[in-house]
């Protein structure tokens, strides 16, 4: 099959590039209107970081095959250029099958044409966008998989939890857990809060038993406040469902490279309970088997639960890390991501 990647420039987002890698490995043809020169990624080893492969063919016109439009860069409800581009895609949909990929941090507040099929990051099933939307995780590149395979050693891991987040904006989940979870965990475990340079980060993942991977922005349904909703653009709050009470909150902007990288290097990821908080990656890990689940209403008991499991089995966290590595390779490698993507577009009868 032929897959055509449409971008507004030679800049390509990490997940779209990983999808290219996976589709190629499955034997499919990859065309693009712009040969990628930059892959936007904060991960350890971005896709195409060594060389742009020759199998990514730049063409003037997409003659046939599914069109995959990467709109992760530059689409916003408040940008006329973004609106114009969506309108262009809307017209294109009348004559061609296409899907959108949007991994933008603000994706939960983006609206789309009614007929558009959108694969996007930070998907929350408790308050999903209106329309035909499907979860997509950040995933792994071929490059980091090879790098990890050559880097992992069998030296003993320290019973230490890595907490090396650099301060950033819109990270209410991390900040809340800094004030609540960390003080509780520090009563029982060593917490490594040292910053590292990017080149040293893999060493942290290899030498410690667990890594904090949570992130996200807390959001309450503003439509419950009639005055505030009336003063804002209604399209921003165009969710498929509505919160029932003013005590419901959801987590947006939760996904990151950190989860997949920690798992790949065999460190037990510590992150929010996916199912409880509606967080969807397309293939979630299992709590207490492939990650340590954090629940806001169990902050005080979580350290005791981890300590109890370690008392029963001193290798508990090491085994979770090993399970996490198998999970991420089985579900979020480029090939696994591409296989899941193909199954979905076939189900939607787009190919």
Percent of the chain scoring above 90 in pLDDT: 72
Q: Write out pLDDT tens, residues 269-287.
A: 999 999 999 999 999 999 9
Provide the domain limits for residue 312: 142-216+253-331
Is pLDDT of 79 > 50?
no
Q: Is residue 212 part of a domain?
A: yes
Q: Is residue 221 part of a domain?
A: no
On whether both 77 and 29 belong to a single domain, the answer is yes
Judge whether 320 and 326 are in contact, CB under 8 Å. Answer: no
What is the total count of domains within the chain? 2
* pLDDT at position 296: 97
3-state DSSP assignment of residue 245: coil
As a whole number, the mean pLDDT across the chain is 91
Is pLDDT of 235 > 80?
no
SS3 string of 51-76?
CCCCCEEECCCCCCCEEEEECCCCCC
On whether both 125 and 166 belong to a single domain, the answer is no
Q: How far apart are CA 162 and CA 213, in angstroms?
A: 9
pLDDT band at 87 (very low <50, low <70, confident <90, very high): low
* pLDDT at position 238: 85
Q: Write out pLDDT tens, residues 63-78.
A: 889 999 999 986 544 4
Q: Is residue 180 part of a domain?
A: yes
Tokens standing for residue 338: 């591409």
Q: Write out pLDDT tens, residues 132-190.
A: 999 999 999 999 999 999 999 888 999 999 999 988 888 999 999 999 999 999 999 99
First to last CA, the chain: 9
Mean pLDDT of 80-102: 70
Judge whether 213 and 256 are in contact, CB under 8 Å. Answer: yes
On whether both 128 and 193 belong to a single domain, the answer is no
On whether both 33 and 146 belong to a single domain, the answer is no
Q: How far apart are CA 179 and CA 186, in angstroms?
A: 12
On whether both 28 and 117 belong to a single domain, the answer is yes
On whether both 187 and 88 belong to a single domain, the answer is no
Is pLDDT of 252 > 60?
yes
Mean pLDDT of 10-18: 94
User: Is residue 170 left, alpha or beta, with left meaning phi > 0 and alpha meaning psi from -120 to 50?
Assistant: left
Mean pLDDT of 300-305: 97
Is pLDDT of 323 > 60?
yes
On whether both 191 and 266 belong to a single domain, the answer is yes
Among 22-31, 109-118, 339-348, the minimum mean pLDDT is found in 109-118
* pLDDT at position 245: 85
On whether both 130 and 150 belong to a single domain, the answer is no
Q: Write out pLDDT tens, residues 27-74.
A: 999 999 988 888 999 889 999 988 889 999 999 888 889 999 999 986
Q: How many C-beta atoms lie closer than 10 Å to residue 213's C-beta?
A: 27
Q: 210 or 245: whose pLDDT is higher?
A: 210
Mean pLDDT of 316-330: 98
* pLDDT at position 77: 43
Q: 196 or 349: whose pLDDT is higher?
A: 349
On whether both 44 and 147 belong to a single domain, the answer is no
**pTM (2 d.p.):** 0.93
On whether both 167 and 83 belong to a single domain, the answer is no
Exposed, middle or buried: residue 214 (CB in 10 Å: 0-12, 13-18, 19+)? buried
3-state DSSP assignment of residue 32: strand
> What Å distances lie between residue 209 and 157, 311, 331, CA to CA?
6, 15, 22
pLDDT band at 83 (very low <50, low <70, confident <90, very high): low
Mean pLDDT of 245-259: 92
Residues 6 or more apart whose Cβ sits within 8 Å of residue 73: 7, 8, 9, 11, 13, 40, 104
């Amino acid at each position: 099959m032929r897959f055509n990647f449409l971008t507004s420039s030679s800049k390509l987002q990490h997940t779209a590039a990983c999808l290219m890698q996976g589709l190629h490995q499955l034997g499919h043809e990859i065309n693009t209107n712009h040969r990628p020169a930059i892959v936007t990624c904060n991960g350890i080893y971005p896709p195409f970081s060594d060389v742009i492969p020759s199998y990514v063919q730049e063409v003037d016109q997409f003659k046939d095959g599914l069109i995959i439009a990467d709109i992760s860069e530059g689409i916003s409800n408040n940008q006329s250029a973004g609106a114009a581009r969506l309108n262009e895609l809307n017209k294109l949909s009348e004559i061609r099958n296409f899907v959108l990929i949007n991994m933008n941090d603000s994706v939960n507040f983006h609206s789309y044409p009614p007929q558009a099929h959108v694969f996007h990051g930070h998907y929350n099933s408790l308050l999903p966008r209106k329309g035909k939307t499907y979860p997509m995780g950040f995933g792994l590149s071929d490059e980091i998989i090879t790098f990890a395979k050559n880097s992992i050693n069998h030296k003993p891991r320290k019973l230490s939890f890595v907490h090396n987040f650099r301060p950033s904006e819109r990270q209410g989940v991390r900040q809340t857990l800094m004030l609540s979870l960390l003080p509780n965990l520090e009563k029982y475990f060593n917490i490594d809060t040292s910053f590292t340079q990017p080149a040293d980060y893999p060493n942290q993942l290899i030498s410690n038993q667990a890594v904090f991977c949570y992130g996200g922005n807390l959001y309450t349904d503003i439509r419950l406040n009639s005055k505030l909703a009336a003063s804002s653009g209604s399209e921003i709050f165009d969710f498929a469902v509505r919160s029932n009470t003013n005590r419901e909150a959801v987590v947006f902007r939760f996904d990151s490279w950190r989860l997949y990288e920690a798992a790949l290097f065999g460190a037990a990821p510590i992150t929010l309970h996916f199912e409880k908080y509606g967080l969807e990656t397309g293939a979630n890990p299992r709590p207490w088997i492939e990650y340590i689940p954090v629940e806001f209403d169990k902050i005080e008991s979580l350290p005791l639960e981890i300590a109890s499991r370690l008392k029963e089995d001193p290798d508990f966290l090491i085994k979770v890390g090993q399970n996490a590595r198998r999970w991420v390779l089985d579900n979020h490698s480029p090939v696994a991501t591409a296989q899941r993507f193909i199954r979905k577009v076939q189900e939607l009868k787009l190919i």
